[in-house]
Structure 1
C-alpha cells in the first residue's frame, strides 16, 4: 500500500484535532487583524478627518496586499513547503500590524496595511492546503469548515478588543495587541508537521514514511504489514519542473479555475464590502460608536453557528448545495438589512447575513484546494484567493462612493444581493461536486 493511501486510511484521531487547533489559531489571528481595522476606521475617520473614499481605500490597500501575498505565498508553499511559509507569513503580518499602531499619517498607515495584507494573503491558502492534505476524505469538508470557523472567533476577539480597548486606550493599542500572534510561531514550529503530499512530491520519501508511521501508531493502526511504497497516481506528473501559471488553464483545470475565480471574486467582494464598512455604516446611520460595537459584536456571534451548520451539511449534502444555498440566503438577508428599519430588524437581518455568509466561506476554503493536484494545490488556491482579493479591493472603495448618495445604504446592499445571487447560480450550474472523494481521485 502506498504512503498516500496509508495516510488517507488513518482514522480521525487526536492528531487531526491538534492540527486543526494549531492551524486554526493562525486563522483566528488573521481574522482578528482584519476585524480590528473595521472597528478602527470610524474612530480614525473622526480623528484624522478622513473622507469616505479615503476610508474605503484603507480597506482596499490591505486587500491589494492580500492578492499579491496569496500568489507569492502559494507559489512559495509549493516550492519550499507549507510549514515554513505558514510561519513566515504569520510573523510578517503580526509585525506589520504592530507598525500600524505607530502610523503617523494616512500614507504611512496605507503602507503598513499593505504589508499586513501581504502576510495575511500568504498564510490563508497555505493553512487551508495543509489541513486539506492531512484530513481523511470522508471528513475533509468538516475539518476545513471548522478551520474556517476560527475566523469567526477571531472577528469576535476583534470586536471585544475594540469594545473594551479603543474607547479607553485608543486605536493604537488595538493594533499593538494584534502584533502578539508573532509569538505563536514557536508553537507552529514544534507542533505542525510538513505535508506528506508535499514531501512525497519532492522526493523526500523517508521523512514522509516516518511521519505516517508515527500517525498510525498514535491512531492505533497496525502498519507492520504495510510495505513502504513511495509512489502515487496523484504525483505521476510531478517532475520537479517549474510551476507555471498556464497549468491552471489546461483542459484538465480550466473549467475549475474559472468557477473558482468567480466564486472567490464574488464572495470576497461581498464580504469585505459589507463587513469592512459595517461599523462605519452604522455610525453614519446615527448609532453611537459604543452601540455600534455592541450590534456588530452580536452579529459576529452569529458567524459561529453559521460555520458549524455548514460543517454539518458539507459532507452530507455536498459542497455545491451547501455553498449555493448559503450564498443565496446571505443575499436575501443582505437585501432586507439594506432596507434599514428598527434596531431589532437590523440585528436580525445582520445576524442572518453574517450566519450564511461566513458559512459559505467555510465551504469555499474546503472546495478550492480539492480541485488541484499536490504540485500546484497551494499555487492554484493562492491564485483563486488573489482574484478574490481584487474583488475585495474594489468593494470598500465602491461602497465609499455609493454610501454618500441618497438612499446609499439601500443601493449598496441591493448590489451585494445581486452579486451573491449570481455566484450562487454559477456554483449550482457549473460547480463540480467533490464530496467524499480522495484528493488524487478529484485532481485527475
Structure 2
C-alpha cells in the first residue's frame, strides 16, 4: 500500500501482538498474512489532533532541556571572569576557551553515542539516562579543584546535554501535529535563552562580593543547574514512548494504546471511529536498523538533505558558540565591565534571542522553511559583518555592542533553531535520532569546538582587528548556509513526517 493511501481496515483490529508473534483478530478483508507486517494510521492520528494540554505538557517536560543547556552555556560565559579571579582555578582566557570546548566536545560524543541508542532502544529510556548524567556532572563541576577537573566535569555535562538533544528533538517531532511542528520546534529550541536568563540572573546575584566570594559564587551557580535538573526528572515521569518508534520496533499494541490515551486526553473522547477514515501506512516491523543502512540513508539516499543539514549546523554552531562563549570576555577585556556585572548585559541579549523564534517562528509554517531559513541566515551574516566592523574601529561601547548583538541574534536564534528542525524532520523515523546526532556532532565539532578556543586566542591577542577577522569568518559561514538553503532546503511545512521522509520499514 502506498503511503497516504486510505484503507477501510480499522487500525484497532489490524495491529500485531509482539509478545506472541501472532496477528490480532482481523477482518476477512485484510489479506496480510505476515505477522511482521502491520497496517497503521498512527502517524496520521497524531497529526490529526489539535493542540491540547497534552502537547503543552510535552513541550514543558521535554523542551526544558534547552533551558538547561542555556543555563550551562550562560554560566560558562558569565562566570569566566570569576573563574579567572578564583584563587583555586586562576583561569586564563585560553583556559576558559578550552574548558568551553571540552563541554562542546562532550556534547558531540554524547550526541553520537546516545543518538545511536535512542534509535535502538527508544526515546523514553534515554530521557532518564542523559538527564542523570547531566545532573551528576553539573553537581561535580561545582566541586572542581583545578583546571583539569573543571574541564573533565564540563565534558561529562556536555555529554549529557548532547544525548538530550537527540532523544528530545526526535520525540517532540514525533508527538507534535504537523501543522504546529515548525513553530513549536523553534520555540522550544529558543527556550535555550530562558535558561540563559536564569544563568545571567544567577551570576548577577552570586558573583556579588556581598553575597559570595570569587571562589564560592560560581560553585553555587553550577549547583543551580543540578537543582533544576531534579525538577525536570520528576516532570518526565509521565511522558510516553514515541508511538511512531513503537510501531516500527515491534510494539504496535502499545503504540495504539498510547495514541488512544493521547486522543482521549486531547479531545475528551475515544476517536477510534475517526481513525478508520484516516490514511494508513504499511510497515514491516524491525528491532533495529543496521549502521550500514543508516549511513546509506543519510549520505546516499538523502545526500542533498545531508548537505543542507551539515551546512546549517556548522554555520550556526560556529556563529553561536564562538561569539556567545566569549561574550563576557569581550565585555571585560575591551569594555572593562566588571565580571559581576556581565549578567546585566546577557539578560537583554537573551531576550532578543528568545523573541526571535517566538515572533518569527510561525512564519516557518506559513511562508515556509526554505524562505525563512534563507532569510534568517542571510540577515544574521550581514549584520554580524557590519557589527564586527564597527567593533574593530572602536565606535561601539558596551551598551551599543549589546544592542547590536540583540538585533543580530533576533534573526540568528530562529536560524539556529531551524537547523535542528531541518535535520530532525528531513530523514526517516528509524534514523532520526542518529541523524540529529551526526549533524549536531559534525556541526558542533567543526564550528563549535574550534570556535571558543579560536576566539579565546584572538581575544588574548588584544587586537580588535583579529577579533573582527573571526567575526567575518562566522558571517561568511552564515551567508553560505543561506545560499545552500535557498537552493536545496525541503519544503516540509505542515506535512506529516512520513510524507517528508518515508520510514525505511514502509512497504509498497
**TM-score range, shorter-chain basis?**
over 0.9
Q: Which has the higher helix share?
A: 1
Query: Following superposition of structure 1 onto structure 2, how do residues 320-331 of structure 1 map, counting pairs within 5 Å?
Result: 320-331=370-381
Between 161-170 and 387-396, the greater mean CA deviation after superposition: 161-170
Paired with 1:3 and 1:343, the residues of 2 have a C-alpha distance of 53
Q: What's the counterpart of residue 46 of structure 2?
A: 7
User: How far apart are 1:263 and its partner, in Å?
Assistant: 1.1
Paired with 2:458 and 2:93, the residues of 1 have a C-alpha distance of 10
Between 94-103 and 395-404, the greater mean CA deviation after superposition: 395-404
User: How far apart are 1:238 and its partner, in Å?
Assistant: 4.6
User: How far apart are 1:313 and its partner, in Å?
Assistant: 1.0
Q: What's the counterpart of residue 374 of structure 1?
A: 429
Between 421-430 and 228-237, the greater mean CA deviation after superposition: 228-237
Whether 2:410 is the aligned partner of 1:355: answer: yes
Q: What's the counterpart of residue 349 of structure 2?
A: 299
Query: Following superposition of structure 1 onto structure 2, how do residues 204-353 of structure 1 map, counting pairs within 5 Å?
Result: 204-220=251-267, 222-225=270-273, 233=281, 235-236=283-284, 238=286, 240-244=288-292, 245-285=294-334, 286-338=336-388, 339-340=390-391, 341-353=396-408
The question of whether the paired residues in 2 share the 8 Å contact of 1:53 and 1:401 is answered with yes
Deviations 1:13-66 (A, max 9, x none): 111111111112232122211211111112212334433222211111111101
Aligned residues: 444
The question of whether the paired residues in 2 share the 8 Å contact of 1:70 and 1:121 is answered with yes
The question of whether the paired residues in 2 share the 8 Å contact of 1:310 and 1:360 is answered with no
Q: Residues 241 and 124 from structure 1, CA distance in 2 versus in 1: closer, same or farther, beyond 3 angstroms?
A: closer
The question of whether the paired residues in 2 share the 8 Å contact of 1:22 and 1:191 is answered with no
Deviations 1:281-312 (A, max 9, x none): 11001222234321122111111211112312
Q: Residues 240 and 189 from structure 1, CA distance in 2 versus in 1: closer, same or farther, beyond 3 angstroms?
A: same
Between 421-430 and 58-67, the greater mean CA deviation after superposition: 421-430
- The alignment partner of 2:273 has SS state of coil
Deviations 1:314-365 (A, max 9, x none): 1011112212211222223322332221334212211112211212122222
Q: Residues 250 and 359 from structure 1, CA distance in 2 versus in 1: closer, same or farther, beyond 3 angstroms?
A: closer
Deviations 1:248-295 (A, max 9, x none): 445322221222112111111110000011011110012222343211
Between 376-385 and 226-235, the greater mean CA deviation after superposition: 226-235
User: How far apart are 1:114 and its partner, in Å?
Assistant: 0.7
Query: Following superposition of structure 1 onto structure 2, how do residues 45-64 of structure 1 map, counting pairs within 5 Å?
Result: 45-47=84-86, 48-64=89-105
The question of whether the paired residues in 2 share the 8 Å contact of 1:315 and 1:436 is answered with yes
Paired with 2:82 and 2:62, the residues of 1 have a C-alpha distance of 32
Paired with 1:355 and 1:229, the residues of 2 have a C-alpha distance of 43
Whether 2:225 is the aligned partner of 1:178: answer: yes
User: How far apart are 1:241 and its partner, in Å?
Assistant: 4.0
Paired with 1:305 and 1:363, the residues of 2 have a C-alpha distance of 15
Paired with 2:237 and 2:341, the residues of 1 have a C-alpha distance of 42
- 2:128 pairs with one of 72, 83, 87: 87
Q: Residues 234 and 100 from structure 1, CA distance in 2 versus in 1: closer, same or farther, beyond 3 angstroms?
A: farther
Paired with 2:92 and 2:404, the residues of 1 have a C-alpha distance of 28
Q: What's the counterpart of residue 440 of structure 2?
A: 385
Q: In structure 2, list runs of 5 or more residues that go unmatched.
A: 1-10, 12-40, 503-508
Paired with 1:427 and 1:280, the residues of 2 have a C-alpha distance of 33
User: How far apart are 1:81 and its partner, in Å?
Assistant: 1.1
Deviations 1:114-140 (A, max 9, x none): 101100100012111111001111111
Deviations 1:166-202 (A, max 9, x none): 2332211111111113423542443211101111111
Q: In structure 1, list runs of 5 or more residues that go unmatched.
A: none
- The alignment partner of 2:427 has SS state of coil
User: How far apart are 1:233 and its partner, in Å?
Assistant: 3.8
Q: What's the counterpart of residue 187 of structure 2?
A: 146
Q: What's the counterpart of residue 474 of structure 2?
A: 416
The question of whether the paired residues in 1 share the 8 Å contact of 2:374 and 2:482 is answered with yes
- 1:162 pairs with one of 197, 203, 216: 203
Query: Following superposition of structure 1 onto structure 2, how do residues 115-134 of structure 1 map, counting pairs within 5 Å?
Result: 115-134=156-175
The question of whether the paired residues in 1 share the 8 Å contact of 2:289 and 2:430 is answered with no
Under a length normalisation based on structure 2, what TM-score does the superposition of the two structures give? 0.83
Rg comparison, structure with higher value: 2
The question of whether the paired residues in 2 share the 8 Å contact of 1:309 and 1:359 is answered with no
The question of whether the paired residues in 1 share the 8 Å contact of 2:44 and 2:496 is answered with no
Query: Following superposition of structure 1 onto structure 2, how do residues 423-438 of structure 1 map, counting pairs within 5 Å?
Result: 423-438=481-496
The question of whether the paired residues in 2 share the 8 Å contact of 1:38 and 1:275 is answered with yes
User: How far apart are 1:213 and its partner, in Å?
Assistant: 1.0
Q: Residues 51 and 12 from structure 1, CA distance in 2 versus in 1: closer, same or farther, beyond 3 angstroms?
A: same
Paired with 1:120 and 1:67, the residues of 2 have a C-alpha distance of 9
Paired with 2:285 and 2:249, the residues of 1 have a C-alpha distance of 12
Q: Residues 420 and 443 from structure 1, CA distance in 2 versus in 1: closer, same or farther, beyond 3 angstroms?
A: same
Paired with 2:363 and 2:479, the residues of 1 have a C-alpha distance of 20
